[in-house]
């Protein structure tokens, strides 16, 4: 059985919310890669993007990825773009169960809009919804390839999503939920 559970998906998919609850239910530490980077750099992700650029941030993600996969079993919430680096995907997949949290882009955008505490530097564009949709379409093949399985988060509660992940972790299969 993989020792960690790696949650991946686009912004707004529920990685942080599900990850926190899943870690409680499984008595595993919760690691949010964006929060860890912010703590290490003493800057928000948005400030890192603005001041140092996306390539610098992606290098920070790669460095962190190598560190956390060598640590104790955990629930890991990855930044939405961490899977853009194939080496990150390799490390993460070797360390744990890769769970893709997915939702329709319209739902993702609605969640992002309602989260006033969120800082989404990639959406600082003329048309944030179109940008989100483009990110979704671009990353979709990568998520499909990297994931051990996918959980739709559009219409499920956090508890139901956690139940699905725990069931898959135990038995290697799940019943598809509506």
**pLDDT tens by residue, 30-70:** 999 999 999 999 999 888 988 999 899 999 999 999 999 88
Question: In the chain, where are the structural domains located?
Answer: 4-171
pLDDT tens digit sequence for 2-26: 589 999 999 889 999 999 999 999 9
Give me the residue label for tokens 């964006």: 34
- Taking the domain 4-171, which CATH number applies? 3.40.50.300
pTM above 0.75, yes or no: yes
User: 9-38: buried (b, 16+ CB within 10 Å) or exposed (e) per residue?
Assistant: bbbbbbbbbbbebbbeebebebbbbbebbb
């Amino acid at each position: 059985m993989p020792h960690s559970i790696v949650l991946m998906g686009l912004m707004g998919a529920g990685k942080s919310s599900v990850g926190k609850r899943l870690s409680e239910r499984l008595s595993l530490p919760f690691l949010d890669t964006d929060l860890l980077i912010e703590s290490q750099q003493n800057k928000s992700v948005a400030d890192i993007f603005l001041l140092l650029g996306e390539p610098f941030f992606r290098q920070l993600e790669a460095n962190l990825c190598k560190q956390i996969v060598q640590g104790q079993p955990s629930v890991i919430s990855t930044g939405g773009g961490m899977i853009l680096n194939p080496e990150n995907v390799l490390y993460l997949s070797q360390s744990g169960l890769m769970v893709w949290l997915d939702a329709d882009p319209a739902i993702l955008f609605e969640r992002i809009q309602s989260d006033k505490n969120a800082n989404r530097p990639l959406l600082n564009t003329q048309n944030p919804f179109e940008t989100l949709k483009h990110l979704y379409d671009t990353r979709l093949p990568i998520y499909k390839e990297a994931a051990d399985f996918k959980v739709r988060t559009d219409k499920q509660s956090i508890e139901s999503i956690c139940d699905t992940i725990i069931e898959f972790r135990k038995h290697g299969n799940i019943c598809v939920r509506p």
